[in-house]
């Protein structure tokens, strides 16, 4: 009986040692992966004048080279797919740890941004940085169940393993090949799909009377924290919304109410919430992949308009 108990204890200790070592390997590998923006911005000296931030919309349709050419300033696209403001906040936090604050931060905000049914906090993007007080606090608030299970050895990776394992292998490859640049060096990822894909029809089938956006207090909190972080560092913050397909607006009954609340937050921080709904590209589905996502051609048109707007700001 005693020998059996000793074997169990030794086996558990060996398992813990193995899992702890595996965790360290994953931590190391993910921090070497230049295609993970959280890793790249903490290693590279980007020092952009203009920082574009938000979810997939600006990620897919704001090419920095167009803004650079128009404004004479350096742009980096920090946006990430399907990210909420807590996700945006942590990536801005990482960026500012290693780079000078941008002159301008343009943060994408649309009524969808304030509703938890849209976008999300992608916890797996931050697993290797658990232990950082700021990261811990945000994860604990945004994904409390995950945070609880991270007390178990290696569970911070096993919990979202399907989202992590490929990036670990890629990180090791980058380390052994001495790669220091990501596939998308300026952060912009051009959309693969450039034609309308029936999103509005599917939306109408689900919500024939339209969809009322639900204002989420946690989204509001991290929107405010992102603004406050940038302003503390001396950046001039702009909230912005790209053109929305006009025919979709009738299916958003409380859109104006949400826009008003976003504008009130902007006013509180003495910043501008700039909407580009006046642009002609908003009138045709040919310019969209979905009601809020511009296609490749119209994204260039919008980015040029944004560049003009920034150039006018610079001229004042």
For each of the chain's 316 residues, which pLDDT tens digit applies? Answer: 677 777 776 777 787 888 899 999 999 999 999 999 999 999 999 999 999 999 999 999 999 999 999 999 999 999 999 999 999 999 999 999 999 999 999 999 999 999 999 999 999 999 999 999 999 999 999 999 999 999 999 999 999 988 999 999 999 999 999 999 999 999 999 887 667 777 888 888 888 888 999 999 999 999 999 999 999 999 999 999 999 999 999 999 999 999 999 999 999 999 999 999 899 999 999 999 888 889 989 999 999 999 999 999 988 7
How far is it between the farthest Cα atoms of the chain?
Answer: 83
Q: What confidence score (pLDDT) does residue 67 get?
A: 97
Integer Cα distance of 252 and 211 in angstroms: 5
Is 304 part of a structural domain of the chain?
yes
Domain count for the chain: 1
Residue 131 resides in a domain = no
Task: Answer whether residue 85 is part of any domain.
Answer: yes
Residue 218's pLDDT is 98
Considering the domain boundaries, does residue 99 fall inside one?
Answer: yes
Q: Is the pTM of this model over 0.85?
A: yes
User: CATH number, domain at 250?
Assistant: 3.40.50.1110
Residue 144 domain flag: yes
Kindly state the tokens that stand for 233. 């560092």
How far is the C-alpha of 96 from the C-alpha of 90, rounded, in Å?
Answer: 10
Rounded to whole angstroms, the Cα distance separating 113 from 292 reads: 11
Angle in degrees, CA 68, 80, 232, rounded to 5: 70
Tokens 């826009």 belong to residue: 259
Residue 232, domain extent? 47-125+137-151+182-315
């Amino acid at each position: 009986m005693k020998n059996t108990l000793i074997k169990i204890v030794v086996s558990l200790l060996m398992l813990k040692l193995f899992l702890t070592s595996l965790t360290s390997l994953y931590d190391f590998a993910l921090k070497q992966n230049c295609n993970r923006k959280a890793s790249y911005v903490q290693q590279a000296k980007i020092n952009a004048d203009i920082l574009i931030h938000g979810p997939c919309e600006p990620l897919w349709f704001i090419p920095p080279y167009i803004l650079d050419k128009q404004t004479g300033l350096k742009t980096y696209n920090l946006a990430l797919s399907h990210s909420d403001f807590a996700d945006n906040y942590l990536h801005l936090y990482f960026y500012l740890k290693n780079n000078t604050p941008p002159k301008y931060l343009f943060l994408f905000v649309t009524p969808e941004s304030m509703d938890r049914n849209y976008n999300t906090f992608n916890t797996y993007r931050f697993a290797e940085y658990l232990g950082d007080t700021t990261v811990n606090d945000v994860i604990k608030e945004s994904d409390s169940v995950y945070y609880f299970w991270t007390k178990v050895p290696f569970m911070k990776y096993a919990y979202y393993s399907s989202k992590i394992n490929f990036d670990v292998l890629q990180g090791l490859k980058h380390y052994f090949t001495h790669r220091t640049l990501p596939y998308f060096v300026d952060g912009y990822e051009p959309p693969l799909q450039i034609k309308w894909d029936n999103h509005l029809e599917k939306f109408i089938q689900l919500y024939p009377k339209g969809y009322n956006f639900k204002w989420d207090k946690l989204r509001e909190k991290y929107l405010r924290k992102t603004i406050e972080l940038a302003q503390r560092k001396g950046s001039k913050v702009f909230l912005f919304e790209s053109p929305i397909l006009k025919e979709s607006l009738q299916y958003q009954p409380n859109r104006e109410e949400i826009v008003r609340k976003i504008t009130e937050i902007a006013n509180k921080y003495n910043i501008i919430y700039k909407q580009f709904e006046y642009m002609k590209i908003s009138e045709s589905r040919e310019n969209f992949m979905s009601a809020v996502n511009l296609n490749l051609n119209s994204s260039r048109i919008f980015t040029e308009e944004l560049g003009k707007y920034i150039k006018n700001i610079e001229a004042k």
